[in-house]
Amino acid sequence: MPRFAFFTAAALAATLTFGLAHAQEVADPSEAYTLSRGAQLYDKWWVPIKAPEPTETHPAYPAAGKKSGKNTWRCKECHGWDYIGAEGRYSKGSHFTGIIGVSGMAGADPAAIADLLRAELHGYTPAMIPDAALAQLALFISKGQVDPAPFMADDKSNGDAAAGKVFYQGLCAGCHGLDGRKIKDADSLGTVSGNTQEMMHKVLNGQPGEAMPALRVLDRQLVADIVAYVQTLPE
């Protein structure tokens, strides 16, 4: 399928998803919308649901880890942007935890995943993540994980940056600037784009609490093209 032909239909859906990004309740959410909400919860769950931020370090966060405080409650901090935990990017470095990933639960019953998150080890109470949000998160784990590995080579996106440029300049530059430096008080996209798995997650699902679009509807290779272009932006 030619990528541009796909985009015409996808662009409409993306626009709709974009407009709904801040709605608390949608009458009839598409599955893509629900999965992107779940993915944003995986990223930083207290932001989209405006829950109180955790204060202590997560009790299951390993002593060998280098982080502390609220960020140790983010799913991504223990399980990785690549969803494969100790098998992936977080096998070493400042985010090391040595914990298994969540990719093994792809296809699992969302209710069983929700139970796992309510159980003592994870300790996510309804006061932290209410049932409706937990269901979105569980559905993301079951049906929404996009393995970034096929879209990477040598840790970078294997996409076509020239193809991605057109989409970046049309879809992203309004907020981020043509050079990726426009958002005040945020690092430039060129500075933060080194983690390809994180970039794929953000472009597919949006940024928690921001009006940034969630582009799950796009052809995956096109998302990789956009990421490839972002990786050429100046620091």
Binding region for ligand HEC (CB under 6 A):
42, 45, 58, 60-61, 72-73, 75, 77-79, 99-100, 102, 104-105, 113, 116-117, 121-122, 124, 137, 141, 171-172, 174-176, 183, 186-187, 189, 192, 199, 202-203, 207, 210-213, 215, 226, 230
Q: Which is nearer to ligand HEC, 15 or 31 (CB)?
A: 15
Q: Which is nearer to ligand HEC, 28 or 55 (CB)?
A: 55
The CA-based angle 195-153-168, given to 5 degrees, is: 60
Q: 3-class DSSP state for residue 118? A: helix
Shortest CB 8 distance to ligand HEC, Å: 17
Query: What does residue 155 show for φ and ψ, rounded to 5 degrees?
Result: 75, -10
CB of residue 164 vs ligand HEC: minimum separation in angstroms? 9
The least CB distance from residue 187 to ligand HEC, in Å, is: 5
Please return the burial class of 233, using the count of CB atoms within 10 Å of its CB with bins 0-12, 13-18 and 19+.
buried
Q: Which runs of E-coded beta strand occur in 68-222? A: 152-153, 156-157
3-state SS, 119-151, equals: CCCCCCCCCCCCHHHHHHHHHHHHHHCCCCHHH
CB 192 → ligand HEC: shortest distance, Å? 4
Of the candidates 27, 216, 122, 42, the one whose C-alpha atom is nearest the C-alpha of residue 226 is 216
Nearer CB in complex with ligand HEC: 20/60:
60
Instruction: Read off the amino acid at residue 119.
Output: A
Q: In whole angstroms, how close is the CB of 172 to ligand HEC at the nearest point? A: 3
* Residues 6+ away with beta carbon under 8 Å from 57: 67, 68, 69, 72
Nearer to ligand HEC by C-beta: 28 or 42?
A: 42
Residue 19 or 26 having the CB closest to ligand HEC = 19
Q: Which is nearer to ligand HEC, 9 or 15 (CB)?
A: 15
